[in-house]
Amino acid sequence: VLENAAKFPSTILELMDGFRASKALFVASKLKVFDRLKDKGSLNAGDVANEVGSSLCGTERLLDACAALGLLEKTPQGYSNTDSANTYLTSDGKYSLHGYVIHSNDHLWPLFTNLESAVKEGTRQNHRAFGKKTEDLFKDYYRSQEVKQHFMAAMHSIAHLTARDVATAFDLSQFKSACDLGGCTGALAHELVQIYPNLKVTVFDLPEVIANTSYFQPSGQCTAPVTFVSGDFFKDNLPEVDLYILSRVLHDWPDEKIHMLLSKISAVCKPGSALLVAETVLDEQKTHPPRAVLQSLSMTEGKQRSGSEYKQLLEKYGFMNVQIKITGNLLDAVLCFRKSQST
């Protein structure tokens, strides 16, 4: 009998098994099981095994695991996608997380396999996970077209899920022009122009990314208010606009790079113009939300910050009236205004 003090350790057991569940999701996604089951009604394990070209007993176990995890439904007729799998796990859905799942399997999993070394050495474990050191995370991703496509799809999926909450966290209707620095596929930009029809948005990202954006554009929509500009935000001139946006950019970089970037934005930003930062804002104790805290374990040179840390950082570069909106979604929003040189 367990003593009162020692409750049944369900959280610990769940954590111990968590890696198996993640990997089952990753492998089912890699094999495109959710694509095969889409619009098919129910299929039995043999049909799925034939379609994905894998063993019957392995496929059956994988499908049962997915059913146990609530990703598939299992009936006497066979296996079918849950609504959630249809929406988020098929590779071509509007809100597909497929790219992020594949990125998690191919890049984050090998890094986290080396977490013990990462903690001991305090550094990202690219050399152990992939056999090479990385100077610039992104340029590394963009060397291979396939990895780039998965990374961009991963960014796109999260941006899509969060764009509306980020775009509406504050009333941005006073701004006529915006530049989403590191705006990747333009998912947030497209949401912004839908919500603020008078806003023109420029997406500024590395040439390798801009060259690959057409695949991600909403079909059948007039995309004129969104323009794409290629450049390096550490080296090149930034477009002059009323509103600069940094979504999931600051947490990736070490202090000296942040210094370069925020100094440049601050210099080009006219008094009264603003900067919108979209990040997961940590609580002041820096233990919540867990997803952001765990993301830090990838040991990029950057870090996640609390609300007061963002305020302090932005004020250091001449921004004032820093407002923070916790959205309840994956990304929160921080808005601040460039003060005039004299204030």
Catalytic residues: 251
Q: What residues contact 183, with CB distance under 8 A and at least 6 apart?
A: 189, 201, 203, 204, 205, 245, 247
CA distances from 189 to 163, 178, 238, 282 (A): 8, 9, 17, 25
Q: What residues contact 240, with CB distance under 8 A and at least 6 apart?
A: 268, 270
Give the nearest distance from C-beta 330 to ligand SAM in angstroms: 10
Can residue 186 be called a binding residue for ligand SAM (CB under 6 A)? no
- Name the β-bridge partners of 277: 246, 334
Cβ proximity to ligand SAM: between 64 and 208 the closer is 208
Q: What is the DSSP string of 171-210?
A: --TT-SEEEEET-TTSHHHHHHHHH-TT-EEEEEE-HHHH
Binding mask 138-177 for ligand SAM (x = CB under 6 A): x----------------x--xx------------------
CA distances from 11 to 1, 15, 21, 22, 263 (A): 19, 6, 14, 16, 44
Of 33-41, 76-84, 205-213, 285-293, which part binds ligand SAM (CB under 6 A)?
Answer: 205-213
Q: How far apart are CA 75 and CA 80, in angstroms?
A: 8
Can residue 95 be called a binding residue for ligand SAM (CB under 6 A)? no
Can residue 184 be called a binding residue for ligand SAM (CB under 6 A)? yes
Can residue 302 be called a binding residue for ligand SAM (CB under 6 A)? no
Give the nearest distance from C-beta 86 to ligand SAM in angstroms: 23
Give the nearest distance from C-beta 76 to ligand SAM in angstroms: 43
For the chain, the distance separating the N- and C-terminal CA atoms, rounded to the nearest angstrom, is 67
Alpha-carbon Rg of the chain, whole angstroms?
Answer: 22
Task: Compute the 3-state secondary structure of the chain and give helix, strand, coil in percent, each to the nearest 5.
Answer: 50, 15, 35
Of 63-71, 218-226, 232-240, 320-328, which part binds ligand SAM (CB under 6 A)?
Answer: 232-240
Can residue 248 be called a binding residue for ligand SAM (CB under 6 A)? yes
Give the nearest distance from C-beta 154 to ligand SAM in angstroms: 9
Of 22-30, 33-41, 72-80, 181-189, which part binds ligand SAM (CB under 6 A)?
Answer: 181-189
Q: What residues contact 118, with CB distance under 8 A and at least 6 apart?
A: 111, 124, 125, 297, 298, 299
Can residue 63 be called a binding residue for ligand SAM (CB under 6 A)? no
For ligand SAM, the binding residue among 35, 165, 191, 205 (CB under 6 A) is 205
Can residue 305 be called a binding residue for ligand SAM (CB under 6 A)? no
Can residue 193 be called a binding residue for ligand SAM (CB under 6 A)? no
Can residue 258 be called a binding residue for ligand SAM (CB under 6 A)? no
List the one residue out of 243, 223, 244 whose CA is nearest residue 233. 244
Can residue 274 be called a binding residue for ligand SAM (CB under 6 A)? no
Give the nearest distance from C-beta 183 to ligand SAM in angstroms: 5
Interface ranges with ligand SAM (CB under 6 A): 138, 155, 158-159, 182-184, 205-206, 209, 232-234, 247-249, 252
